[in-house]
Structure 1
Amino acid sequence: MRIIFRVLPWLILLIAGYFFISKKFSINTSVESKHQLLVEKIEAIGKLELVRYQISDVLEHKNKTDFLPEASVLLIVKAEAVGCIDLTKVTRNDIELDADTAVVNLPQPEICYVKIDHKNSRVYDTKMAFFREAGLVDEAYKAAEKHVTAEVKKSNILAQTKTNAMNVLKPIIEGLGYKNVRLTFE
């Protein structure tokens, strides 16, 4: 029992000291952001997006210099590519209507955009990057975007866009009462 009376004051003092120090030296942070949004341009867009590719790329990007060790970064990049048809290019001359036949001449499909999804992409590993890590990661993302764009251009995204245009637009035109619908591409 005597030992409890000897240890109890020290235990109380230790707990009180902990609470004093944690309250006294706690770091309170606040974040404040001020934005002034300005709409610079408004455009009418008539592009019909018909196919979306979701792409993953694993990229090892290396940077070699004469006086520093080789630095590398390993990224897992998520990207998106969209094929579309620009319907603003369709004119009245591109549409031929007969009693039960409709012929629509559409513009060639195009790649609307290829973009990196930074939210879902990850920097997996960096080696020997030290103070140049941010620049190395930025270079790697730019290289990934160029590579993904080149690969998308080689893919069959434009053919898939044509197929999807047929699947989407033909039922719409048939719904207008035309039994024979033919879609062509300039």
Structure 2
Amino acid sequence: MQILMRYIRVLLIIGIIVFSIFLWEKFKNINPFAVKDIQTTHNMVLKEMSVLGKLELANFAFRDIVEQELVREYLPNPKAILIVQGEAIGCIDLTKIKPDDIATNGDTLIVHLPDPELCSYKIDHHKSKIYDTEYAFMNEQSLMNEAYSRAESKIKESALEMGILDQTKKNAELVLKPLLENISGKKVVLQYRMKATLSRPK
């Protein structure tokens, strides 16, 4: 009986050893503490861009000679000639960037920027002046207001025709890209959405 019990104990020990070896071989390559993937979020980049807000990247200066005339039925037409100076500014509103707009691919940071905007276009009244007037008298103020209003609209139209939005994109590569590379420590690729937008003039 004792011999039988010893034999059973030996078999049990051998079985435990064999089972332990089997478990070791099967799971030796599994490390519960191993890192499967590394995910990094770039909140610092996003916060830095949000702080910058609307980043002005292109400034077009304009000088225009405006001839304005109010047509009357009987009296002579009031006329004015103005030398108008103004500017149009192209910018990118970095506050519109969301976390999904920033992605990483190895050592490259990909940033999807919002469309460039014509963020302002305006007359510089300090540099503009009235060159000449005729028959203005009581109508001088309305004559000037209309002339400046049309000149301001012309600045907007000319800025878009002259490619201020495309220039804003080009300047972003020169200004914004190096800034983001310095912040993130990665190579930066800037991408844009398909359609540009205009904000209301200031």
- Give the alignment's TM-score, normalised by structure 1: 0.72
2:107 maps to 1:96: no
| Partner in structure 2 of residue 177 of structure 1 | 185
| Partner in structure 1 of residue 7 of structure 2 | none
Q: What is the DSSP-based 3-state SS (H/G/I as helix, E as strand, rest coil) of the residue aligned with 2:66?
A: strand
2:155 maps to 1:145: no
**What is the aligned counterpart of 2:134 among 124, 127, 132?**
127
- Residue type of the partner of 2:185? G
Runs of 4+ in structure 1 deviating by more than 4 angstroms, as ranges, are none
| Partner in structure 2 of residue 76 of structure 1 | 83
CA distance in 2, matches of 1:45, 1:170: 14
Q: What is the DSSP-based 3-state SS (H/G/I as helix, E as strand, rest coil) of the residue aligned with 1:118?
A: coil
Q: What is the DSSP-based 3-state SS (H/G/I as helix, E as strand, rest coil) of the residue aligned with 2:125?
A: coil
Whose helix fraction is larger, Structure 1's or Structure 2's?
Answer: 2
- Residue type of the partner of 2:162? S
CA distance in 2, matches of 1:129, 1:173: 55
Any residues of structure 2 matched to 1:56-67 within 5 Å, and which?
56-67=63-74
| Partner in structure 2 of residue 136 of structure 1 | 143
Q: What is the DSSP-based 3-state SS (H/G/I as helix, E as strand, rest coil) of the residue aligned with 1:184?
A: strand
* Aligned-residue offset at 1:60: 0.5
CA distance in 1, matches of 2:113, 2:170: 13
CA distance in 2, matches of 1:133, 1:171: 51
Residues 129-159 of structure 1: per-residue CA shift (max 9 Å, x gap): 1221121111111111112212122121000
Q: What is the DSSP-based 3-state SS (H/G/I as helix, E as strand, rest coil) of the residue aligned with 1:120?
A: coil
**Unmatched runs of 5 consecutive residues or more in structure 1:** 1-43
Change (3 A) 1:145 1:105: same
**Unmatched runs of 5 consecutive residues or more in structure 2:** 1-50, 194-202
CA distance in 1, matches of 2:65, 2:125: 14
CA distance in 2, matches of 1:181, 1:153: 28
Change (3 A) 1:94 1:146: same
Q: What is the DSSP-based 3-state SS (H/G/I as helix, E as strand, rest coil) of the residue aligned with 2:178?
A: helix
* Aligned-residue offset at 1:83: 0.1
CA distance in 1, matches of 2:108, 2:177: 12
Any residues of structure 2 matched to 1:48-59 within 5 Å, and which?
48-59=55-66
Aligned length: 142
* Aligned-residue offset at 1:45: 8.2
Rg larger in structure: 2
CA distance in 1, matches of 2:66, 2:127: 15
- Residue type of the partner of 2:105? D
* Aligned-residue offset at 1:113: 0.5
CA distance in 2, matches of 1:45, 1:71: 47
